[in-house]
A and B are shown apart, each in its own frame.
Chain A
Amino acid sequence: MSSAARKRLVTALLLAPAAVWLFLFLVLPFAAIVVFSLGERAPAGGYAPALTLAQYANLPARATAFWNTLVLAPAGALACLLIAYPVAYYLALKVLPQRRLLLVALIVIPFWTSLLIRTYAWMYILGARGIPAFLELVGLPEMRFINTPGAVLLGIVYGYLPLMILPIYISLERLDRRLLEASADLGATPFSTFFSVTLRLSLPGMMTGFSLVLILLLGEYLIPTLLGGGKVFFIGNALVDLFLQSRNWPFGSAIAVALVAITVVLLLAANRLTARLSGARQVDLL
């Protein structure tokens, strides 16, 4: 066997497990979903073979779920970004190196508890016997937090903030400090240095964090269920409803395909934007 052929064989063997896995659990199911989405609901629920775009034409029936997802997911990701950046900046550039590890650990530790349990906790904090009860006690008028878009947004920021902090922290931590000195040396004020150098060079980290959080939020199901209480529902909630309750698989599939399409378009746009802003060097998204 020639050395080139052996190299190809080794590469194939290394990639085989992942390729098989992806084919069985990503490509095949997605193909099935696409096929389902072109079908019709069987009278007793489930899928009946057909070739129609009727399910896609029906998408506006679930406009609220799309609207909620497409407003709250980017808003949540943006809120995470705005809150995470100063934290990451502080961790990477201001904290004494010997304390940095401890603080990074503190950010990661909440992950040791299930998001379900932590979101349940928020249900009680925001629920009638939580903050509203306390506010009433001090004489403020009755307020409602739970089951509002605000509660969902809060749950989103709470749950996903660490995922935003870490990539930004890494990009800032890798930032060559001499570039900041060079900028100051050339007459740039700290303010100007931040915008021309620091922010620009941490863009890949920001984009990684933003994309990561956005992808997860577009498919979010748990937080709207618990903190939105059926009033603020996402595409994820619509899918559960269609597949498990009304058993309208073709319509659910059409929504799923639309969700994937939206995600891909958003990611490509984000990738293009980062590449443009950070100097056309190839940026790895995840």
Chain B
Amino acid sequence: MASETLDIEFRGVSKRYGDVTAVHPTDFAVPKGAFIALLGPSGCGKTTCLRMIGGFEQPTTGQVLIGGADMAEVPPYRRPVNMVFQHYALFPHFDVSANVAYGLRQVRPRLTSSEIARRTADALAMVQLAGFGKRKVHELSGGQQQRVALARALVNRPSVLLLDEPLAALDKKLRTDMQIELQNLQRELGITFVLVTHDQEEALSMSDVVCVMNGGRIVQLGAPDEIYDRPADRFVAAFVGKTNFLDGTVVENGGNAARIRLANGMEIGARLTGGGAPGAAVSVSLRPEALRLGAATGETGLGGIIRNRIFLGSTAEYAIEVPGLGTLLATADHDAARSDLLRPGDEVAISFNPGAPLAFPVADNKTTQRETSHVEVLS
């Protein structure tokens, strides 16, 4: 991709604090107008990446480019990006208007005060806070403060908006509303949004591209459904969405049609990612919604006893004890969740589509875990 169609580009960017590596050498590019989410557990390096884009951290090696220009010598106040900070970082000594107008007052040559007033009012209207200008920041609710932070960051019309865990402090209902609002805002403005979050639901629901990070590295970069359906390794499968992991060994490595023997001796077909010779230990991921529950038939399939039912309204989750495999989580849809057939204590048969199981080499998992604990001290 040519540089002029890219808003942000990392070229071999790494960041070390003393002996601790927060970000390993990383390359990635964000095209203009994209909504990208950096997703990962705390200490995975996602916030460090965001802060390097904002200019609050300097990369140890490599280059950060914004709009094709190297940012090495450019301080935060000269970068064409703005940030919505975690916990908003609103100025407590200013009212809402003054907070939003802050960026406009820094513009040189100076804007006229009527221009500042007009653009401040526009920005407040954009986040549905028209008329709130004279309020004190501490008089606002969390959701309103969030909107002020958004208006303040957007008022200077940045080419990239950085969002650091912007919804973490909001309750669930408000968070869903804000997710929709952010998505609409991004489409209307057409500017690039870079979102940092540890909440996989937030990342999947809002962004066009999800960049999953772990242990200071990008593990997978792709569209949300791709990340969910085709995780690159066991870490991604575990981190994004819920899943069941079953221990097994490779019988035959056919790639997309590998044969895996599970711990209970049963043999299943699975898509094997990352390779593995026959006999190698693998971890098989089976999403709860891929499991179908039915009345026990007595056949020699997969089956178990329902231990718990967690009713969630539109769906229900069942914890099923399967001999030799442990407890599996299965999701039943609205109708099944209301049927009387599935009650704790009942025996059920479990089936799934042949394409559903994904197998990952177990060694993969161990390295990621080690790296995670290594970096965790940073968060």
Q: Which of B83-91, B117-125, B203-211 contacts A (4 or more CB under 8 A)?
A: B83-91
Taking a contact as CB atoms under 8 Å apart, the answer to whether B94 and A279 are in contact is yes
Taking a contact as CB atoms under 8 Å apart, the answer to whether A184 and B87 are in contact is no
Taking a contact as CB atoms under 8 Å apart, the answer to whether A188 and B102 are in contact is yes
Q: Which of B74-82, B257-265, B287-295 contacts A (4 or more CB under 8 A)?
A: B74-82
Q: Which of A17-25, A157-165, A175-183, A232-240 contacts B (4 or more CB under 8 A)?
A: A175-183
Taking a contact as CB atoms under 8 Å apart, the answer to whether B76 and A181 are in contact is yes
Known: A187-B77, A187-B156. A181 touches B93 (CB 8 A): no
Taking a contact as CB atoms under 8 Å apart, the answer to whether B156 and A186 are in contact is yes
Taking a contact as CB atoms under 8 Å apart, the answer to whether A186 and B54 are in contact is no
A residues 236-286 touching B (CB-CB < 8 Å): 278-281
> What does the 1/0 interface line of B37-75 toward A look like (CB < 8 Å)?
000000000000000001110000000000000000001
Q: Which residues of B contact A192 (CB under 8 A)?
A: 106
Q: Is B107 an interface residue (CB 8 A)?
A: yes
Task: With both chains docked as a complex, state the minimum distance between the C-beta of B207 and any C-beta of chain A, in angstroms.
Answer: 21
Taking a contact as CB atoms under 8 Å apart, the answer to whether B103 and A201 are in contact is no
Taking a contact as CB atoms under 8 Å apart, the answer to whether B89 and A184 are in contact is no
Task: With both chains docked as a complex, state the minimum distance between the C-beta of B347 and any C-beta of chain A, in angstroms.
Answer: 56
A residues 157-211 touching B (CB-CB < 8 Å): 176, 178-179, 181-190, 192, 196-197, 200-201
**What is the bound-complex CA distance between A202 and B248, given in angstroms?**
62
Report the count of interface residues on A (CB-CB < 8 A).
22
Task: With both chains docked as a complex, state the minimum distance between the C-beta of A52 and any C-beta of chain B, in angstroms.
Answer: 50
Taking a contact as CB atoms under 8 Å apart, the answer to whether A182 and B94 are in contact is no
Task: With both chains docked as a complex, state the minimum distance between the C-beta of A163 and any C-beta of chain B, in angstroms.
Answer: 25
Q: Is B217 an interface residue (CB 8 A)?
A: no
Taking a contact as CB atoms under 8 Å apart, the answer to whether B93 and A176 are in contact is no
Taking a contact as CB atoms under 8 Å apart, the answer to whether A186 and B92 are in contact is no
**What is the bound-complex CA distance between A113 and B107, given in angstroms?**
53
Taking a contact as CB atoms under 8 Å apart, the answer to whether A187 and B93 are in contact is no
Taking a contact as CB atoms under 8 Å apart, the answer to whether B89 and A176 are in contact is yes
Known: A187-B156, A280-B136. 12 other contacts (CB 8 A): A179-B89, A182-B89, A183-B91, A185-B54, A185-B81, A185-B85, A185-B153, A187-B78, A187-B106, A190-B77, A279-B136, A281-B138
Taking a contact as CB atoms under 8 Å apart, the answer to whether A181 and B103 are in contact is no
Which of the residues B77, B91, B138 comes within 8 Å of A185, measured between beta carbons?
A: B77
Taking a contact as CB atoms under 8 Å apart, the answer to whether B92 and A279 are in contact is yes
Taking a contact as CB atoms under 8 Å apart, the answer to whether A197 and B77 are in contact is no
Known: A181-B56, A181-B76, A279-B136. A186 touches B106 (CB 8 A): yes
Taking a contact as CB atoms under 8 Å apart, the answer to whether A179 and B91 are in contact is yes
Q: Which residues of A contact B90 (CB under 8 A)?
A: 182
Known: A186-B82, A186-B102. A181 touches B89 (CB 8 A): yes
| Number of residue pairs spanning A and B whose beta carbons lie under 8 angstroms apart | 69
Q: Is B152 an interface residue (CB 8 A)?
A: yes
Identify 11 residue pairs between A and B in the complex whose beta-carbon atoms are under 8 Å apart, listed by A's number.
Answer: A176-B89, A179-B91, A181-B83, A182-B83, A185-B54, A185-B83, A186-B102, A187-B77, A188-B77, A201-B92, A279-B136
Query: Which size class do B's interface residues fall under?
Result: 20 to 34
**What is the bound-complex CA distance between A113 and B91, given in angstroms?**
42
**What is the bound-complex CA distance between A187 and B86, given in angstroms?**
19
**What is the bound-complex CA distance between A184 and B153, given in angstroms?**
12
Q: In the complex, which residue of chain B has the Cβ closest to the Cβ of A188? A: B106
Known: A179-B91, A278-B93. A185 touches B136 (CB 8 A): no
B residues 130-177 touching A (CB-CB < 8 Å): 136, 138, 152-153, 156
Q: Which 10 A-B pairs have CB atoms at the shortest separation, nearest pair first?
A: A187-B106, A186-B103, A279-B93, A178-B89, A184-B76, A182-B89, A184-B77, A188-B106, A185-B83, A187-B77
**What is the bound-complex CA distance between A188 and B55, given in angstroms?**
13
Which of the residues A176, A179, A185, A197 comes within 8 Å of B76, measured between beta carbons?
A: A185
Between A181, A186, A192, A201, the greatest number of chain B beta carbons within 10 A of the residue's beta carbon is seen for: A186
Q: In the complex, which residue of chain A has the Cβ closest to the Cβ of B152? A: A186
**What is the bound-complex CA distance between A180 and B44, given in angstroms?**
25
Known: A181-B85, A182-B83, A279-B136. A187 touches B91 (CB 8 A): no
Task: With both chains docked as a complex, state the minimum distance between the C-beta of A259 and any C-beta of chain B, in angstroms.
Answer: 34
Q: Which residues of A contact B86 (CB under 8 A)?
A: 178
Taking a contact as CB atoms under 8 Å apart, the answer to whether A182 and B91 are in contact is yes
B residues 260-299 touching A (CB-CB < 8 Å): none
Which of the residues A189, A197, A281 comes within 8 Å of B91, measured between beta carbons?
A: A197
Q: In the complex, which residue of chain B has the Cβ closest to the Cβ of A185? A: B83
Taking a contact as CB atoms under 8 Å apart, the answer to whether A187 and B85 are in contact is no
Taking a contact as CB atoms under 8 Å apart, the answer to whether B107 and A187 are in contact is yes
Which of the residues B77, B85, B153, B156 comes within 8 Å of A189, measured between beta carbons?
A: B77
Q: In the complex, which residue of chain A has the Cβ closest to the Cβ of B149? A: A182
